[in-house]
Amino acid sequence: MAEVLRAAAAVWVRVRDGQSLDRALQDQALKHEVAAPIRAAVHAVSHDALRHCALIEALLPRLIARAPAPQVTGLLAAALSQLIVGAYRDHALVDQAVAAARSDRHLSAAAGFVNAVLRSFLRRRAVLVPQLLLDDATRLNVPRWWLQRVRREHPEHWERALACAVQPPALLLRVNRRRCDVDAYLARLRSEAVTARRVGPYAVRLDRPCPVQQIPGFTEGVVSVQDAGAQLAAPWLQADDGMRVLDACAAPGGKTGHLAELSDARIDAIELDPARAGLITDNLQRLGLAAPRIRILTADARDVASFWDGHPYQRMLVDAPCTASGIVRRHPDIPWLRREADVAQLTTLQAGLLDALWPLLAPAGRLLYVVCSVFREEADQQADSFLERHPDARLAPLPGTRHGWLQLLPTGADPVEPGQTVGLPTEHDGFFFALFEKV
């Protein structure tokens, strides 16, 4: 456990310095800083620490008089997270944290300090933790500006929406209908003693998460890992065989793959980052869907001259860069990497994408705008602004709703009207969808 705590401490430092959690963990693996057998444990502890980041950062000033070196703070954060979740016996965990300090030349001088701080926490935990959790931002593990924005924009649902983000996510799969149907896949899981249930038209929830390579049918392309909310995008675009479809900002290719599963449309998948564009290829090959009808183009979707051949598209999927405020339970680092000013900057980027791509859409064509956000500036306010700028655009009803846009808050909160929703998944992250039609 000492090695796990030491590695998780390094991840904490990198994330609090501005690196994403996924990148910090990937860098450790690529640089062989962490032995393969303990990577899953490092992943778990790092996620636990960030899911309790607000509480940990509220605790530390009450346990220590002066902030220590970042590496020491990281070790304390990793250890405190495990004491908070109760994953190990208290004193055994403290001993392992001290051992982690002693085994690292950068931390060895602080071993006694680490021991004293953690034992102080154990003595004061019963009083300190309940007091600190009276603060909503601490309890719901978000910066204060984030809490205030969600509370203001979703006054009836804010608490349930934010509380969902503190919980570890379920493992949700999308069944590839070209290979299997949901009932047949559930039968396969039962035959392999894997308990699961259906939560959407193509969505299956595994009761016990596992590494992707151990998911039955994953390597042969029977299923993909994708949130049930994200699985709404491809069917709602309603692309038919032979249609020209643009999938903008397509990496890592989950929605591209779903579009290709649902029809024989001709798809142009655009991605700015060459490395991430490669993930789209890998995904399609795994699904058995790599074909001449699907082109993967490395380009900035706003620079249409760099990829467009002059022929209009009948359908467009614009899964735009956003704050990712709707997927915090899968990425608990997001609230701590974002600044409030990022919302306006990303809103400007989203508007630029929509304005650049709209002229490429054929008359009567449809564009589905998607963000994994719960912030209204990126959602319905963005949709309203787009309609004001483009008089040749109107909202087309989303399947199962009365209106052309829908805000899904993370599971545990109700869909936000307008829209009498029908056939929505029973478990999902936070997403906004708006379906525009060119008139």
**Beta strands 294-298; 266-271: pairing state:** parallel
Q: Which residue has the tokens 């064509």?
A: 365
DSSP 30-69: HTT-S-GGGHHHHHHHHHHHHHTHHHHHHHHHHH-SS---
Q: Does the annotation count 164 as an active-site position?
A: no
Six-digit token string for 192: 């392999």
CA distance 232 to 235: 6
DSSP 127-151: HHHHHHTTSHHHHTTS-HHHHHHHH
CA distance 307 to 329: 35
Residue 430 · residue 325 · CB < 8 Å: yes
Nearest to 163 by CA among 410, 417, 340, 424: 410
Find the catalytic residue in 53, 164, 322, 372: 372
Six-digit token string for 74: 């990281």
Distances in Å between the alpha carbon of 255 and those of 259, 261, 368, 409? 6, 10, 12, 20
Beta bridge partners of 315: 245, 366
Which are the catalytic amino acids?
A: 372
